[in-house]
Chains A and B, each alone.
Chain A
Amino acid sequence: MMVRLNTDIAAGLFGLAFAAVLWLPRGDMGRLTIMFPRAILVILALLSVALVVKGFVRPGERRVEIPGSPTRLLVVMIGFFAWWAAIAQLGFLVATLVAFYALTWYLARVDGPVEGTRLLKWTPSLLALVLVFYFTFKEVLNVRLPTGLLF
């Protein structure tokens, strides 16, 4: 998907916004603590202004290409955050099994409809993959993975 966007201005505005977010809480910090961040914030602001000016005077790219399907991009992006949120509620193992299954099913649909039999055929591989990693981290690497409702 092509989006009309002056990337110089967009990058400049992002830089200014980022600088503003960090500029505001600087007041209650000591001199030594703020000395370096303040210098970088000033440089960041100058670079951002330079990019905005460049965007008007001699712009670089004026369009942005989001390769592939933006819907799929958004779904997977949300999926990753949902996976993270589910880990706290369901525990790592259950959340990962659900997320892995859902993502595989969703992504496989690019090639055409995914029938139930195909999903069943994948189950042993998916289970094996998740369980191998789960037990490797839990038992071999001694990582205390988050637990939830069941595990």
Chain B
Amino acid sequence: MDMLLQALATLLTFESLITVLLGVTAGLFIGALPGLTASMALAVLLPFTFSMEALQGLIALGAVYMGSIYGGAFTAILINTPGTPSSIATTFDGYPMARQGRAYEALAAATMASVVGGLVGVAFLLVLAPPLARWAVAFGPAEMFWVAMLGLTLVASLSSGSLLKGLLGGCIGMLLSTIGVSPVGGETRFTFGFPPLQGGIELVVALIGLFVIPELLNMAAEGRGALPGVGELRRRDTSIRQVARQVFGKPVNLIRSCLIGQIIAIIPGAGGNVTSLVAYNEARRFSKDPKSFGKGNVEGVVASESSNNVMVAGSMVPLLTLGIPGAPPDAIILGVLLLHGLRPGLDLFTQSGVLTNGFILSMGLAALMLLPVGLLGGRLIHRVVIRTPYYFLLPGIAMVTILGTFALRNSYLDVGIMLMLGTAGYFLRLIGIQAAPIVLGLILGGIAEQGYVQTLMAAVADPVPWLRLLNNTLSKVLALLVLVGAATALVPIWLERSGRLDKVSQEDTP
């Protein structure tokens, strides 16, 4: 409790408040640009946090994350194009509302739902993370190996539409993580006689390359010009109070969507698009008037936006406790934690408790900040986003990307690695291997290797050493969960093939 109060005190400074305000606004700008995901927003703005203190940097990125997920709702509602994949479900009812001249109502509802979702996610994170971190101490090398495998299986199954390709991506990521000096043997691996590779592939460099460059190449190829200016943001007859009554008048929808968001957020790798689609589907299923969904029902917007903003803080439960990102953008937060010498686990809630609690609380502040920024600055942000030509945007983002990658280690080679990984990522995406499993493999590779090698070293006298990986109940349960995770991915495909499901669509994670 003392730590929480100390964290609150560090947060309520002019510097922190300005950081949150700027972070939310910047995130909102990038999130509102179609195709630019929350991961990309974090990757592009990451370099600006390098010179900041650890807490300020984390506050800034938390605010960018919150702002970018919310920002996706703007274009989803106004021009039927989700700014981020997390807002896919927002288009279903948001755009019909805009066409009916109810754009302001839809945006105000999305803002309120996002604020509630953001705050609920923070509350869950504050309640769930510390006990889970204490429990995580019981995880030995074998358990950590299975946790890494679980994260990989789940992201592979959820992100690409093909389990085999997802797992292949995960393996590629894991192998990329082994380049450089081995953490156990201490020898240099896979440098091909090129000494600069001894430092390995920096996580953030890979993240920037794999998330940003393919999208820039896509933008260039498509020649994405100015967005159609069909959506208008005019305040009609609806007042904020009326919208608030609509949103909070049906609390069951809001509560259900937040709970769905939190449950899915804890699953490693499941992104905001999964949470919003599931929450939307459940809102429709439980509605007294399901036929009105897709035709401008505000409940659909509330379900989608509340659940995807719960995910922002909610997905950090596995990140801060076990070091496993709950969603792809969390990988960048992990990169920042590691940059500042902070390792996920119990220490984050004891030795660095003030910093961690400050970061968590700052996301609550960022959620609250969505209200003034979204409602007052919404019109300006919309105008800027709609009118910025892509031929300025693309070189601008590329410049920040190059600057950011270079600034990380003052390394010219890192820029080249980032471009190579990004270019490879573009072509791999074409053949169905997504960036998310590769990135997760890169992150989990180190955890898995330490767990695997340490377990086998301890079992050197055993007749079958690898059986030590299944030595106790916890590791058996985790191994079973890995199998269940892999099987779960196959169920929708089996249902589709057996004709019990019309079409299974799986979208990219944000």
Contact = CB atoms under 8 A, between A and B. Distances in A.
Contact of B190 (A22, A66, A110, A142): A22
B402 A140 contact: no
Contacts of A40: 171, 174-175, 178, 445
Interface string B280-321: 000000000000000000000000000000000000000000
Interface string B177-204: 0100010111101101000000000000
A96 B182 CA distance: 37
A122 B388 CA distance: 13
A84 to B, nearest CB: 5
Contacts of B406: 92, 143, 145-146
A47 B415 CA distance: 31
A80 B419 contact: yes
Given A11-B168, A73-B220, A35 B452 contact: yes
Interface string A23-51: 00100011111111101110110011011
Given A7-B431, A133-B400, A143-B406, A33 B392 contact: no
Contact of B220 (A76, A100, A146): A76
B230 interface: no
A77 B423 contact: yes
B47 A137 contact: yes
Contact of B217 (A33, A77, A88, A100): A77
Contact of B168 (A47, A99, A122): A47
B456 A35 contact: yes
B424 to A, nearest CB: 9
A67 interface: yes
Interface in B343-393: 389-392
A143 B411 CA distance: 11
A104 B396 CA distance: 9
B131 interface: no
Contacts of B178: 36-37, 40
A81 B449 CA distance: 33
Contacts of A117: none
A107 B190 contact: no
Contact of A11 (B48, B431, B456): B431
A39 B168 contact: no
Contacts of B3: none
Contacts of A66: 221, 430
A77 to B, nearest CB: 6
A14 B169 CA distance: 11
Contacts of A73: 217, 220-221
B165 A51 contact: yes
A37 B189 contact: yes
B432 A72 contact: no
Nearest to B497: A58
A64 interface: yes
Q: Name the residue among B174, B220, B457 with the largest chain A CB count within 10 angstroms.
A: B220
Nearest to A122: B392
Contacts of A129: 392, 396, 399
B6 to A, nearest CB: 28
Nearest to A126: B392
Given A11-B432, A60-B162, A66-B430, A32 B184 contact: yes
Contacts of A18: 172, 175
Contacts of B174: 40
Interface in B49-108: 50-51
Contacts of B392: 104, 122, 125-126, 129
Contacts of B399: 96, 100, 129-130, 133
A80 B412 CA distance: 14
Nearest to A100: B395
Interface in B431-460: 431-433, 445, 448-449, 452-453, 456-457
Among B185, B221, B389, B406, the one with the most A-chain Cβ atoms within 10 Å of its Cβ is: B221
A5 interface: yes
Contacts of B187: 29-30, 33
B192 A25 contact: yes
Nearest to B220: A76
Interface in B396-413: 396, 398-400, 402-403, 406-407, 410, 412
B206 to A, nearest CB: 15
19 contacts: A7-B430, A30-B185, A30-B187, A32-B185, A36-B178, A43-B167, A60-B432, A66-B221, A67-B221, A84-B419, A96-B399, A100-B399, A103-B395, A104-B391, A129-B396, A133-B400, A133-B403, A137-B403, A143-B50
Interface of B: 47-48, 50-51, 162, 164-165, 167-168, 171-172, 174-175, 178, 182, 184-187, 189-190, 192, 213, 216-218, 220-223, 225, 389-392, 394-396, 398-400, 402-403, 406-407, 410, 412, 415-416, 419, 423, 426, 428, 430-433, 445, 448-449, 452-453, 456-457
The 3 closest A-B pairs by CB, nearest first: A33-B185, A68-B221, A32-B185
Given A54-B164, A61-B432, A66-B221, 6 more contacts: A11-B164, A22-B190, A32-B184, A34-B185, A35-B184, A65-B430
